[in-house]
Amino acid sequence: MCRGGDRERLRTRAGVYARMCKAHPQTRFYIFPTLAPADWCVAAGTYGVSDYGFVVDKYVRDFRSMLEPSIEYTWAGEGLLAEEVVSWYYRTDHHWNMKGAYQAYVQIWRLLQTRNAEISAVREVQEWFELPNIIFYGSYARRAGYFDSIHDTIVDGYFNLPELTIHVHGADKRVRNEKEQYKAGHPRAAKFANHYGGYFGDDYGLVEYMCEVGSGCLLVVGDSYDNCIEPLLASHFRHTYFVDLRHYVADVGDHFEIDDFIEQNQITDVLFTGNQRRVLGLSSPGEID
């Protein structure tokens, strides 16, 4: 059973998505929540305890039955063994490592393809590489009192992507990430620096990608989970907008009105992704109605 009023919250959020579909019948909608690594560890038996206190995949499974059939839906790792999905995440951080993020991207691509038959072919990884001399103590290490007995490395992949033009809204001269500095041997220097944010990009309220060879316009309402796969997703669309509701007002200077955004930017596809509690309407910020 769902805890407290969670089932009603799930139904309320499903109703929000249904209203959007009705208001924008020419737009395709997709939902792709992400479970916390702790939930996958419980499902895999890593902790050796019952799932008491953990949602695991119960809510993402229940949510499917509440959605309009016209909304395409899956969650990161659905259909895979929990032990495999655990390996998608850093050991000391709540984000996907790049190899895991790539698997999530392929899942999202398949989700988009179910409604968008014209989407270009999935981007294949040409080669994986590890950034030298990077010792990454992630968010869990920082929250655990700067625990340094376990660390991660930063791995990325080479992909044959079309040229992308990027605009980060907010302060002038913002750059999306510090990849060039990292590759040149100039990473963030602090021992517990957030190398995920440094290398793949920090969180901003609105990031735009333009691609000359793409078609259609994609709106992604998400969080930091999608930072590392933004270029992969954006390579399939003429124009892609990544919105993070946690920072939108500060960076853009106005509240996010999704109906106006869809109409004004001729959005053809909308993807809701990120932490399952936000996507499923169980925690704020999640004001998309």
Count of CA atoms in the C-beta half-sphere (13 A) of 194: 14
Per-residue confidence (pLDDT) for residue 289, from 0 to 100: 45
Does the structure show a pLDDT above 80 at 52?
Answer: no
Burial of 189 (0-12, 13-18, 19+ CB in 10 A): exposed
What are the pLDDT digits (tens) for 236-285?
A: 999 999 999 999 999 999 999 999 999 999 999 999 999 999 999 998 65
Neighbouring-strand partners of residue 96: 89
- Contact at 8 Å (CB) between 147 and 137? yes
Give the C-alpha separation, 231 to 200, whole Å.
Answer: 10
Chain segment 201-232, per-residue pLDDT in tens? 999 999 999 999 989 999 999 999 999 999 99
Q: With 80 as the cut, is the pLDDT of residue 56 above it?
A: no
pLDDT > 70: percent of the chain: 94
C-beta separation of 226 from 30 below 8 A:
no
- Evaluate if pTM is beyond 0.85: yes
